[in-house]
């Protein structure tokens, strides 16, 4: 798939900051690459995009998104293949999801050529920022903000689309401990749970802070009506291996993010011959499987998290500890299979990779 080259004004940085990165200690979201892409929407149209040195934004205190939360984002990763060529994993899927978020938040769609070709030109310019060691990548953060200078509750008319990038190590560097919440609620049918809107993450900060104080890494959210059907973890979708099948919550009610890594995992498992069920899944069923010795694996999936093993789930006073990772067949295979595809070590039979 290709698009016409987008005309972008490019201003290069005078001196790269790449020496700020310690290749042996790349932390997630700490250092940002030399350049960023910026495009503004006004008078009903997108204006010419520019790539310029990464830097602060100058905005009015009355800027809309600061007051009413009209802000969305995406997460994508770029890698280098064995020959040192940059490759981006499934950016077209992120572009489509970005525009689904934009529609729900009353924001303008970002054209394919702006999102995809803008992304390609930015990555090409900052290709030296893509780390090459295992479990590292260049994390790509496209986002859009409502930037009217107006304090009043109405959809904005001016927007800013920006892409920044950051060399990244693993989001989780060890298996995680999860608390299953049945008090606070992340999403209801008819809400914005399926979007990557800033507010979805802002509302999770207080409950997540509380569970971290209790010694857990993240929350597994449950539904807002019965508080028993699991949905997603704060930073990722979730999968459970129950006996000889893999089960993940379905996305039919628009309360769960339609993860790109989630879809990749489902595709790869089914091609391998594994039974994957997308359906409502209650914490009661998970507990019953655990007591019967049938809860074999539990793992999260996401762009940032990749494949994140869960070593324990706690629901109320019931702690469910998973078998040792050495016994996990699916998560371990998936992690290697996805890494081989993303780093270009294996033939891309799904057309998931976009090469620079």
Binning pLDDT at 50, 70 and 90, where does residue 2 land? Answer: very low
pLDDT for 315: 97
Q: Where are the beta strands (DSSP E) in 169-272?
A: 176-181, 218-222, 230-233, 237-242, 245-248
Bridge-based pairing state of the strands 50-53 and 9-10 = parallel
Task: Give residue-wise pLDDT tens across range 136-189.
Answer: 999 999 999 999 999 999 999 999 999 999 999 988 889 999 999 999 999 999
Domains annotated for the chain, with CATH where assigned, are 9-169 (3.30.470.10), 176-342 (3.20.10.10)
Residue with tokens 């371990």: 332
Binning pLDDT at 50, 70 and 90, where does residue 235 land? Answer: confident
**CA Rg, the chain, in Å?**
21
pTM: 0.95
| Max CA pair span of the chain | 63
Residue 89 DSSP label: E
DSSP 268-306: HHHHTT-EEEES--BHHHHHHHHHTT-EEEEEEEETTTE
Is 70 exceeded by the pLDDT of residue 3? no
Task: Give residue-wise pLDDT tens across range 32-87.
Answer: 999 999 999 999 999 999 999 999 999 999 999 999 999 999 999 999 999 999 99
Percent of the chain residues topping a pLDDT of 70: 99
CA dist 208 and 213 (Å) reads 9
Binning pLDDT at 50, 70 and 90, where does residue 305 land? Answer: confident
Is 50 exceeded by the pLDDT of residue 1? no
Binning pLDDT at 50, 70 and 90, where does residue 10 land? Answer: very high
Nearest one of 171, 168, 12, 16 to 79, comparing CA atoms? 168
* Beta-ladder partners of 9: 50
Burial environment of residue 339 by CB neighbours within 10 A (0 to 12, 13 to 18, 19 or more): middle
DSSP 302-355: ETTTEEEEEEEEEETTEEEEPPPGGG-SHHHHHHHHHHHHHTTSS--TT--EEE
How far is CA 241 from each of CA 27, 51, 209, rounded to the nearest angstrom? 30, 45, 28
Mean pLDDT of 109-127: 97
Mean pLDDT of 98-111: 98
pLDDT for 127: 97
């Amino acid at each position: 798939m290709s698009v016409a080259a987008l005309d972008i004004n490019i201003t290069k940085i005078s001196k790269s900051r790449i020496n700020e990165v310690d290749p042996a200690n790349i932390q997630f979201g700490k250092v940002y690459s030399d350049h960023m892409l910026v495009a503004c929407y006004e008078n009903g149209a997108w204006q010419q995009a520019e790539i310029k040195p990464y830097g602060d934004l100058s905005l009015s205190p009355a800027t809309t998104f600061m007051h009413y939360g009209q802000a969305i984002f995406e997460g994508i990763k770029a890698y280098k293949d064995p020959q040192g060529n940059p490759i981006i994993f499934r950016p077209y899927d992120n572009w489509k999801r970005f525009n689904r978020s934009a529609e729900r938040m009353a924001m303008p769609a970002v054209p394919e050529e702006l999102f995809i070709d803008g992304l390609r030109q930015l990555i090409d310019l900052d290709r030296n920022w893509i780390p090459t060691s295992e479990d590292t990548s260049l994390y790509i953060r496209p986002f859009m903000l409502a930037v009217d200078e107006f304090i009043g509750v109405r959809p904005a008319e001016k927007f800013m689309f920006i892409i920044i990038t950051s060399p990244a190590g693993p989001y989780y560097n060890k298996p995680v401990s999860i608390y299953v919440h049945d008090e606070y609620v992340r999403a209801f049918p008819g809400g914005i749970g399926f979007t990557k809107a800033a507010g979805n993450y802002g509302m999770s900060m207080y409950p997540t802070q509380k569970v971290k104080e209790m010694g857990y890494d993240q929350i597994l959210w449950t539904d807002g009506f019965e508080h028993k059907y699991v949905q997603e973890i704060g930073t990722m979708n979730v999968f459970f291996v129950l006996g000889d099948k893999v089960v993940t919550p379905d996305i039919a009610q628009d309360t769960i993010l339609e993860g790109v890594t989630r879809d990749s995992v489902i595709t790869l498992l089914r091609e391998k011959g594994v039974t994957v069920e997308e359906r409502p899944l209650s914490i009661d069923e998970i507990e019953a499987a655990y007591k019967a010795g049938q809860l074999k694996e539990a793992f999260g999936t996401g762009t940032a998290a990749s494949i994140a093993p869960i070593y324990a789930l706690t629901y109320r006073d019931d702690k469910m500890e998973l078998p040792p990772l050495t016994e996990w067949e699916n998560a371990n295979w998936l992690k290697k299979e996805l890494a081989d595809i993303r780093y270009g070590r294996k033939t891309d039979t799904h057309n998931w990779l976009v090469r620079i």
